[in-house]
Structure 1
Amino acid sequence: MVEKHLLEFLEKLQFLISKNVKISHYGIENVKKICGVDIAYKGNLGFSVGVSMDINSGDYNYKSYVGEVNFPYIPGFLFMREAPLMIKAIEGLDCHLLLVDGHGIAHPRKSGIAAVIGVLLDFPTIGVAKSRLTGDLVNESEITYVYLNGEKVGVKFGRYFYSPGNKVDLQDCIELGKRGYPKVLKIADMLTKKIKKE
Structure 2
Amino acid sequence: MPDSRCLVLFTKPAIAGRVKTRLIGELTAEQAAELHEAFLGDLIERVKSGNFALRIAWALEPRESVPESTVAAFRQQGADLGERLFDGLGRTSEDHDLVAAIGSDHPELPLSHIESGFDKLAEGAEVVLGPTADGGYYLVGATKQALNREIFAGIDWSTDRVLRSTLDRCRDLDLAVELLPTGADVDTPDDLSRLASRLAKGECDCPRTIRLLRAWRQIQP
TMscore range, shorter length: under 0.3
Q: What TM-score do the two structures reach when normalised by structure 2?
A: 0.25
Query: Which has more radius of gyration?
Result: 2
Larger strand percent: 1
Larger helix percent: 2
